[in-house]
Amino acid sequence: MKILIREIDHVVIRTIDVDTLTRFYCDVLSCTVEKEQRDLGLIQLRAGRSLIDLLQVGGKLDRAESGPPGAGRNMDHLCLRIDGFDRDALAAHLRANGVRIGETAERYGADGYGPSLYLFDPEDNMIELKGDPRASAS
């Protein structure tokens, strides 16, 4: 049997403040709330065709053995493929929202080399915004 992976379905980010991260991903990165299960400590956000699950540390679904976020990262970064990559406009938008920005470069991704910008959410998780490989990094 050969397993054929099509795309990322979802990423789970453990958080100490689910409301702050929900606002960040919705207000800054334009995700939308797909499903809220606060009794479980879970908010699921729509990010294009994928989901970002925000899991409250200490909630019903959290595993105590995972430890506190940041102490032992269980994710290096989340890469979100975006349309209309405009480095200057993205940087201006992120700065206006008080977001810490990393470097912009041409990086390799699922469809080849293309423009990419790193940024950090309020709990210091690294996010990569990746443009179309045929787009200019300008």
Q: What's the pLDDT score for residue 21?
A: 95
* Same domain assignment for residues 108 and 48: no
Structure tokens at 11: 């990423």
Domain with 20, as residue range(s), is: 1-71
What does the pLDDT look like over 87-134, one tens digit per residue?
A: 999 999 999 999 999 989 999 887 889 999 999 999 888 899 998 887
Which of 27, 54, 71 delimits the end of a domain? 71
What does the pLDDT look like over 56-80, one tens digit per residue?
A: 988 898 877 766 666 555 676 899 9
* Same domain assignment for residues 15 and 63: yes
Report DSSP letters for 90-121, one per residue: HHHHHHHTT-EEEEEEEEEETTEEEEEEEEE-
CB 127 within 8 A of CB 121: yes
Q: What's the pLDDT score for residue 27?
A: 97
Helices and strands: H and E segment counts in the chain: 2, 8
- Kindly state the average pLDDT of the residues 21-49: 95
- 74: which residues sit within 8 A by CB, 6+ positions away? 14, 66
* Same domain assignment for residues 106 and 41: no
Domain count within the chain = 2
Q: What's the pLDDT score for residue 90?
A: 93
3-class DSSP state for residue 15? strand
Identify the CA nearest to 69 among candidates 10, 125, 23, 7: 125
* Same domain assignment for residues 8 and 65: yes
